[in-house]
Amino acid sequence: MQVTKLIESIKNGDYDKVIASLYPNKDLSDRKERIITVATEFFNLYGDKDATLFSVPGRTELSGNHTDHNNGRVIAASVDIDIISIAAKVDEPTVYMKSVGYREDTIDISDPNPENVRKGSSSAIIVGVADYFRKNGYKYGGFCAYTSSDVLTGSGLSSSAAFEVICARIFSEFYNNGEIPLMELAKAGKYAENVFFGKPCGLMDQAACASGGCLWMDFEDSANPKTEKVDLDLNKFGYRLCIVNTGGNHADLTDDYAAVPAEMKSIAALMGKQTLRSCDEADFMGRICYLRSIVGDRAIMRAMHFFGENRRVDIQKEALKNGDFDTYLKNVTASGNSSFKFLQNVYTNKNVGEQGISLALAVTENFGEICRVHGGGFAGTIQAYIPAERVDDYKKTMEAVFGENSCQVYTIRPYGAAAVYADGIKD
């Protein structure tokens, strides 16, 4: 469909049903206006091309804090904020990418090579995704795209993974009939981030963004994780999911993040394994005296967190399958307590005067509701489950401490990486 016709179709309400299903608790007119704005900017930059609307959601980690890097289990879910793109196929092997607030990138993908990209750049991601397609026998080619993201950097909702996956989704739709499995799109994103962008990461973020809904993942075989969709409708239980951004300085936290998997793996190595997932917990407990003399006490406690958290993930999965929300929430609290006491990723020892996450957890518990650290930790966000009738009061309470719009309410979105048409969503 020509982009001018796409704009008219959205204005005329032809897309209302599909847009409402992507953003179930959002204002429809606001979401339509956002898409129309992006489509108009696409037209202004690239002309009246045959264009398609794409959407990839952000994600929230629900259970399994710092477990995936040691082949553990995780529950994560996509949420109703996303990166959208209006994109069109072009004949030449070039990607033209313009994102709101950034200059246009022009990227040659004819010969993808990690030596020829600027590490840490969005162009590195695009070339890396193309290289994954090349290496795995998928087709890829040029396109032009205008994107807008409300998955903000530093929000703890995986803005980078969403960008990686939307690039892969565009290649899939334009050059592979949209038939590439969603987990393959996730793997393409991880590969691009690891090899081309130059940042180590697991597969959890990309998998959750690509798959949509609430997803249980087991990374025992990290290259081919087991996954299972789990139904989680918080509205049914009268709750809302809140993410509170505590701000804080994210600089100089690389060592803090890197130490978590490194310390866990140091214990695994002493037990003759590569990761804690391969270690027997009873054997570990019986050898603590010996292990602590070599790796220190913090590594021991982080390993204890891993074993307990890995069990909790499955307990929570079964609780959700059985509709036992009380057990699910009980283990949210247990997860948060374990992260604070044993994993110790709630603040950095480099700056004990700044403890935004600790404070947010304390204020939420004082408010009387359930919460946990969200994601990597040390600075950033917490996750809270708030009864619907208390959400407004909770927002006021948290924003009085952390500033306007620091507390956001999210809905779990059923769709992952999607091409969006008037007659339906293709994910």
Is 70 inside any structural domain?
no
Asked if residue 304 and residue 401 are part of one domain, the reply reads yes
Asked if residue 279 and residue 138 are part of one domain, the reply reads no
Confidence (pTM): 0.92
- pLDDT value, residue 152: 67
Range of the domain at 157: 3-58+78-208+414-426
Is 221 inside any structural domain?
no
Low-confidence ranges of the chain (pLDDT < 50): none
- pLDDT value, residue 39: 98
Asked if residue 264 and residue 126 are part of one domain, the reply reads no
Asked if residue 364 and residue 274 are part of one domain, the reply reads yes
Sheet containing 370-373: give its strands across.
370-373, 381-387, 239-245, 407-410
- Quote the CA–CA distance of 275 and 281 in Å, as a whole number: 12
For 351-390, the pLDDT digits (tens) are: 899 999 999 999 999 999 999 999 889 999 999 999 999 9
- pLDDT value, residue 154: 61
Placement of tokens 């690891």 in the chain: 194
R_g of the chain computed on alpha carbons: 22
Asked if residue 393 and residue 301 are part of one domain, the reply reads yes
Asked if residue 322 and residue 356 are part of one domain, the reply reads yes
Is 376 inside any structural domain?
yes
Asked if residue 378 and residue 344 are part of one domain, the reply reads yes
CATH number at residue 271: 3.30.70.890
Is 420 inside any structural domain?
yes
- Quote the CA–CA distance of 127 and 136 in Å, as a whole number: 14
Asked if residue 263 and residue 186 are part of one domain, the reply reads no
| Number of folded domains that form the chain | 2
- pLDDT value, residue 116: 85
H/E stretch holding 335: helix 325-338
For 87-118, the pLDDT digits (tens) are: 999 999 999 999 998 999 999 999 998 888 88
Asked if residue 377 and residue 422 are part of one domain, the reply reads no
Closest to 214 (Cα-Cα) out of 59, 350, 5: 59
Asked if residue 182 and residue 44 are part of one domain, the reply reads yes
Asked if residue 421 and residue 287 are part of one domain, the reply reads no
CATH number at residue 197: 3.30.230.10
Asked if residue 313 and residue 186 are part of one domain, the reply reads no
